[in-house]
């Protein structure tokens, strides 16, 4: 498997350097760490928003740093949690005196290392609250989690808490809206191909030429069902129905949807999926307030997509519509 | 080869529907055509900016419709020019009385069909000027062109002419800045894998497990050199040096760079390439005014990238920095 990399051991380092060189006015790397923060730091008087996790999900995480979203993000090695030290440096850097909200995807390594770091910075007097995202409706427990996995719904948490913090809200208020998104969002994904990690250089799981894997995670974890290849509309129906059933969405409710590419999927195909998704929601009497299509949380070069649905109310739509200016997401 | 599609014959239709459903406030499809225009039409008093070409290059073309860039785009079938009728409908729709600039990538079908359409609308009194983009430094002539191919540099033409038109400039002035970009931009690409068209369902060209193709176009056309797989830094050097030599860039000059993903390339790898690109420019004493990294002009699911360099002056940097608000590109 060919990749545009040099030594696999250097790929995260080189990626982070390349990213900061792409956005030198926006992003800054903390020396001797894999932590990226806003070039101008967390604005005074604002609650800091911090997140992080394994690399290989770009533009997650550092791509969402900027006005209206994140103040900093720690990058682990590919598909590995950042260390507690990295998370500590991140939390310290993101605090501008009003405390920090840590957005944590529900993986055991991330949760454990973030919690260790939180204990450490709290001893130094930094207030930290957390939101743990577990939007993947496919599995109850997985290879890397107790409870459900955190996947693409995390981007909506970033957007909501970032907008709330930008309003000057308190740490408790920022935490509340983050948890509100978590309580109202669900995601399910499909893989047409396995991802290939730089280190291993070959597919993480086997998938036949006529097979797909439903309910995949974002690390090449096995899904819940190995199925025969289907038409895009049928795949969309499977994913959407699983999410709608889990969330118990009813006719008349309003939702924001995301069709998220897994990294190797052409945009053409994502729009084909969105067409069917919107048709299906219309048939069920569910109203789409906004539809996002793109690569938001990827799994290296995996082909496939995930569908995220978030039930919204006036408070959430206001936060999702608020201005944001980050490398990967811009709302004007 | 698996794709998230239904019937290959419907893929462009379904993609366009899915795209308009994603951005209903921004995009509108002209009935019974594959033409997409701004939902609110070309603003009064502004020169219209129109483009188009084969599908399979998303977010090119309709992804760049919006404030500060395009007013409309015609989509052909996958890797096929739109018909003259489609281009005619596009030009008519984009004219708000001040004339239309047509941005044409230098492919024989696109040039011929656009010219036929221009003849037709000019008879109805619509003023049209053209800019033909031919930024690919790899080949002098190709399967589909007399002269060089138009590739990712086209996005910079869209940006510059869109910004100039938004200022209220005349059609001649808008055309002038478009041509100025064309005169100062070069691109070269590499494929790690061939793309697979929905219709054919298998790779367009053969590439061994340890081979890459240098100088590829955006339609799976053969490149100029089949080479052994190399490290990302070596590939970056090959592409960058070809472009710099062609443009005759000298120390002290300022450039805008693009590392463009071909559709199947993880963002991680694009940042690794950008890191080396910036290092190389620094070594040569060339100053980067701005660096773009992302999927701007793709070739379905092809893995690989292209590197674009545009020599800039104060006029061009002002146009590139001007606000834009489109689905695929946002400058705040």
Q: Which helix (H) or strand (E) holds A316?
A: helix A314-321
Determine how many CB atoms are found less than 10 A away from the CB of residue A171. 17
Q: Closest Cα to residue A22, out of B256, B231, B159?
A: B256
CATH number of A185-321: 3.30.1180.20
* Predicted confidence band of residue A139 (pLDDT cuts 50, 70, 90): confident
Q: Closest Cα to residue A198, out of A313, A55, A98?
A: A55
Q: What pLDDT is stored for residue A34 in this prediction? A: 98
- 3-state SS class at A255: strand
Residue B25, beta-bridge partner list: none
Mean pLDDT is lowest, of A139-148, A268-277, B61-70, for: A139-148
Closest to A22 (Cβ–Cβ): which among B55, B59, B291?
Answer: B291
Q: Which positions ≥6 away from A169 have C-beta within 8 Å? A: A47, A177
- 3-state SS class at A78: strand
Mean of pLDDT values over A88-117: 97
Mean of pLDDT values over A114-125: 98
What's chain A's average pLDDT? 96
Q: Which helix (H) or strand (E) holds A20?
A: helix A11-22
A23 with A40: CB under 8 angstroms? no
Q: Which residues of B touch A272 (CB under 8 A)?
A: 4-6, 11, 14-15, 18
* Gap between the Cα atoms of A268 and A222, Å rounded: 26
What percentage of chain B exceeds 70 in pLDDT? 99
Q: What pLDDT is stored for residue B317 in this prediction? A: 98
Q: Closest Cα to residue A240, out of A172, A288, A303?
A: A288
A232, with CB counted inside 10 A (0-12, 13-18, 19+), is buried
Q: How far apart are the first and last CA of chain A?
A: 40
Q: What is the pLDDT of residues B297-308, one digit of tens each?
A: 999 999 999 999
Q: Nearest CA to CA, how far is B59 from chain A (Å)?
A: 7
Q: Which residues of A touch B264 (CB under 8 A)?
A: 264-266, 301, 303
B56 with B26: CB under 8 angstroms? no
Identify the closest residue of chain B to A209 by CA–CA distance.
B1
* Gap between the Cα atoms of B300 and B280, Å rounded: 29
Q: Does A265 touch chain B (CB under 8 A)?
A: yes
* Gap between the Cα atoms of A79 and B270, Å rounded: 18
Q: Nearest CA to CA, how far is A17 from chain B (Å)?
A: 6
**At residue B257, what are phi and psi to the nearest 5 degrees?**
-120, 150
Q: Does B237 touch chain A (CB under 8 A)?
A: no
- Going across the sheet that includes B304-311, the strands are B225-228, B211-214, B185-191, B304-311, B254-261, B287-294
Q: What is the pLDDT of residues A43-76, one digit of tens each?
A: 999 999 999 999 999 999 999 999 999 999 999 9
Q: What pLDDT is stored for residue A144 in this prediction? A: 67
* Gap between the Cα atoms of A269 and A294, Å rounded: 10
Q: Flag whether pLDDT at A301 surpasses 80.
A: yes
Closest to A55 (Cβ–Cβ): which among B21, B268, B270?
Answer: B268
A202, with CB counted inside 10 A (0-12, 13-18, 19+), is exposed
Q: How far apart are the first and last CA of chain B?
A: 40
Q: Closest Cα to residue A258, out of A232, A283, A239, A234?
A: A239
Mean of pLDDT values over B211-231: 90
Q: What is the pLDDT of residues B73-102, one digit of tens each?
A: 999 999 999 999 999 999 999 999 999 999
DSSP A45: T
Contact (CB<8Å) B231/A304: no
* Predicted confidence band of residue A294 (pLDDT cuts 50, 70, 90): very high
Q: Does B231 touch chain A (CB under 8 A)?
A: yes
* Gap between the Cα atoms of A233 and B6, Å rounded: 7
**At residue A239, what are phi and psi to the nearest 5 degrees?**
-65, -45
Q: Closest Cα to residue B23, out of B35, B38, B12, B10?
A: B38
Contact (CB<8Å) B231/A292: no
* Predicted confidence band of residue A194 (pLDDT cuts 50, 70, 90): very high
Contact (CB<8Å) A15/B229: no
Q: What angle do CA B186, B189, B192 make, to 5 degrees?
A: 170
- Residues 59 through 118 of chain B touching chain A, CB cutoff 8 Å: 59, 63
Q: Which residues of A touch B292 (CB under 8 A)?
A: 22
A294 with A270: CB under 8 angstroms? yes
B134 with B106: CB under 8 angstroms? yes
Q: Closest Cα to residue A49, out of A94, A87, A104?
A: A94
Q: What is the pLDDT of residues B181-204, one digit of tens each?
A: 999 999 999 999 999 999 999 998
Q: Which residues of A touch B2 (CB under 8 A)?
A: 192-193, 209-210, 212, 229, 303
DSSP A8: G
Q: Which helix (H) or strand (E) holds A282?
A: helix A267-283
Q: What angle do CA A13, A15, A16 make, to 5 degrees?
A: 65
* Gap between the Cα atoms of B67 and B144, Å rounded: 32
Identify the closest residue of chain A to B234 by CA–CA distance.
A6
* Predicted confidence band of residue B264 (pLDDT cuts 50, 70, 90): very high
* Gap between the Cα atoms of A107 and A85, Å rounded: 17
Q: What pLDDT is stored for residue B274 in this prediction? A: 98
**SS3 labels along chain B:** CCCCCCCHHHHHHHHHHHHHHHCCCCEEECCCCCEEEECCCCCCCCCEEEEEEEECCCCCCHHHECECCECEEEEEEECCCCCHHHHHHHHHHHCCCCCEEEEEECCHHHHHHHHHHHHHHHHCCCCEEEEEECCECCCCCECCECCCCCCCHHHHHHHHHHHHHHCCCCHHHHHHHHHHHHHHEEEEEEECCCCECCCCCCECCCCCCCEEEECCCCCCCCCCEEEECCCHHHHHHHHHHHHHHHHCCCCCCEEEEEEEECECCCHHHHHHHHHHHHHHHHHCCCEEEEEEEECCCCCCCECEEEEEEEECCHHHHHHHHCCEECCCCEEC
What is the domain partition of chain A in residue ranges?
Answer: 10-183, 185-321
Output the CA–CA distances (angstroms, integers) from residue A112 to A53, A81, A87, A105, in the order listed: 12, 9, 11, 11
Q: What angle do CA B151, B152, B158 make, to 5 degrees?
A: 105
B298 with B58: CB under 8 angstroms? yes
Q: What angle do CA B27, A189, A301 make, to 5 degrees?
A: 85
Q: Which class does domain B10-183 fall in?
A: alpha beta
Q: Nearest CA to CA, how far is A98 from chain B (Å)?
A: 27
Q: What pLDDT is stored for residue A142 in this prediction? A: 67
Buried b / exposed e along B140-160 (16+ C-beta atoms within 10 A): eebebbeebbbbbbbbbbbbb
Q: Which helix (H) or strand (E) holds A73?
A: strand A72-78
* Predicted confidence band of residue B144 (pLDDT cuts 50, 70, 90): low
A266 with A24: CB under 8 angstroms? no
Q: What pLDDT is stored for residue A218 in this prediction? A: 87
């Amino acid at each position: 498997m060919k990749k545009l990399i040099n030594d696999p051991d250097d790929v995260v380092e080189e990626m982070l350097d390349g990213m900061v060189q792409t956005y030198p006015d926006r992003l800054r790397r903390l020396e001797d760490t894999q932590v990226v923060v806003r070039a101008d730091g967390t604005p005074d008087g604002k609650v800091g928003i911090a997140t992080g996790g394994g690399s290989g999900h770009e533009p997650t995480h550092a791509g969402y740093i900027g006005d209206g979203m994140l103040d900093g993000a720690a990058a682990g090695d590919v598909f590995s949690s950042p260390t507690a030290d990295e998370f500590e440096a991140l939390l310290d850097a993101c605090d501008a005196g009003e405390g920090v909200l840590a957005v944590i995807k529900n993986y055991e390594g991330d949760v454990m290392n973030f919690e260790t770091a939180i204990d450490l910075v709290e001893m130094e007097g930094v207030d930290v609250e957390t939101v743990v995202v577990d939007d993947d409706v496919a599995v109850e427990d997985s290879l890397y989690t107790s409870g459900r996995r955190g996947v693409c719904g995390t981007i909506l948490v970033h957007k909501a808490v970032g907008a709330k913090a930008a309003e000057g809200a308190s740490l408790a208020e920022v935490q509340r809206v983050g948890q509100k998104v978590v309580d109202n969002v669900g995601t399910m994904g499909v893989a047409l191909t396995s991802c290939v990690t730089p280190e291993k250089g070959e597919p993480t799981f086997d998938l036949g030429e006529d097979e797909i894997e439903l309910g995949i995670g974002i690390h090449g974890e096995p899904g819940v069902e190995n199925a025969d290849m289907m038409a895009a509309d049928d795949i969309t129906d499977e994913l959407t129905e699983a999410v709608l059933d889990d969330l118990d969405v009813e006719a008349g409710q309003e939702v924001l949807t995301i069709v998220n590419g897994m990294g190797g999927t052409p945009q053409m195909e994502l729009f084909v999926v969105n067409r069917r998704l919107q048709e299906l929601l219309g048939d069920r009497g569910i109203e789409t307030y906004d539809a996002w299509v793109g690569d938001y949380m990827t799994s290296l070069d995996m082909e496939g997509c995930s569908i995220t649905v978030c039930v919204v109310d006036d408070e959430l739509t206001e936060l999702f519509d608020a201005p944001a200016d980050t490398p990967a997401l811009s709302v004007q």
